[in-house]
Amino acid sequence: MEYSLVCHSLYALWSSPVKKKLILLSIMFLIWVYMLYSCVGYCSTMPNLVVDSYRGKETVSAVGKRTESSRTDLVSRLLAKSQPWEDIESDYEEPSIRTAASRDLLDNELETDRTDDWDEMRGEQQRAPEPSAMSSFSNGSGSKKLPQAIIIGVKKGGTRALLEFLRVHPDIRAVGAEPHFFDRNYDNGLEWYRELMPKTLEGQITMEKTPSYFVTREAPARISAMSRDTKLIVVVRDPVTRAISDYTQTLSKKPDIPSFESLTFKNRTTGLIDTSWSAIQIGIYAKHLDNWLQYFPMEQILFVSGERLISDPAGELGRVQDFLGLKRIITDKHFYFNQTKGFPCLKKAEGSSKPHCLGKTKGRTHPNIDPEVVQRLRDFYRPFNMKFYQMTGHNFGWD
């Protein structure tokens, strides 16, 4: 009897047109709320803060700021270290105060870096697949952590390629664009920095890459203050080729800059190299490494060969995965060689089923440089390279 009454009531409820519409609207509302919640979970993993930071919209956080006196002490300690680099090469001089022209050139180089970062960021967003509601819901889990590993250098060494390759690994989550926290945005505080990071699950590694850290005097002390256990990765490349690549990048954005030859020498007649030019200074790897070894032991720094990253990407990625304590998942099967660009590409990029090569800002054709200038640069870098080989215990074969 009770069962028949319940059935009769349900039938009466459903047979009413008004009540039927209310029930359907309620169901549609619940579905809409679920989809909205899923979308919020997905959007929270997108690096919007990083994109905004390149548009100058950063929000300054007071949490985690260093005091001015603490930073001054750290800089003083670094400056107090004796670094007798003039003993290595007789015509090497410590960089002097830049002229207005050289400062303008440096500003152009920094602006070029930001533009390339923005182009890469847009490329990543354009190729990202649209997630399903269920995958979006799962992406909302996890938490944002400070990076346990950082690619600290070097500019034009192959850092973007390395990061793109590493992002294939399921246990690595990385920021797409360069945060520049430890050189340009340190006053924003660690909480600001943490918010730039993607969410990670237990067992996953958070990473970022900013190549200018390697040549920033304050960066080692600042990263050490965040965590002495941070693992550091440096992609190095023949310093002569690297300098030409650096110049090529700037030239592509600022075609009116002076020639490579005129920027290389303080005096072409005497052959004195201008080490105040950042394109030359970055390649003095031994000098920069000496600064990092004041705060980190050598076993916490991995040096990746930029040349081998092209000729044997799987081999170099194997070393990186070992260094990070991860299973070797990225292997030869993930790569194919692109004859047009002249370097390896991924068969399947992170979050995509399509092949992926680095964008148009990578693999630019280098201008023709006077062979005598190239040889003079090789002679200049040779003693520094030898010192670098001794420090790292690895001969990179640049000489």
**Helix residue spans in 179-238 (DSSP H):** 190-196, 219-226
pLDDT for the residue 141: 81
pLDDT along the chain (399 residues), means of 10: 51 64 81 68 42 38 41 42 45 43 45 51 41 39 95 96 95 96 98 98 97 98 98 98 96 94 91 95 98 98 97 96 97 83 74 63 76 96 98 96
The DSSP code for 353 is S
pLDDT for the residue 63: 37
Do the bridges between strand 301-305 and strand 149-153 make them parallel or antiparallel, or are there none, so unpaired?
unpaired
Cβ neighbourhood burial of 368 (10 Å; 0-12, 13-18, 19+): exposed
Residues in binding site? 156-160, 237, 245, 362-366
Q: Regarding the domain with residue range 143-244+279-363, which homologous superfamily does it belong to in the CATH classification?
A: P-loop containing nucleotide triphosphate hydrolases (3.40.50.300)
Q: Kindly list the domain boundaries of the chain, sorted by start residue.
A: 143-244+279-363
pLDDT for the residue 56: 40
Catalytic residues: 156
pLDDT for the residue 224: 98
pLDDT for the residue 218: 98
Q: What is the pTM for the complete model shown?
A: 0.69
pLDDT for the residue 74: 42
pLDDT for the residue 8: 56
pLDDT for the residue 88: 53
pLDDT for the residue 365: 83
Residues in binding site for 3'-phosphoadenylyl sulfate? 156-160, 237, 245, 362-366
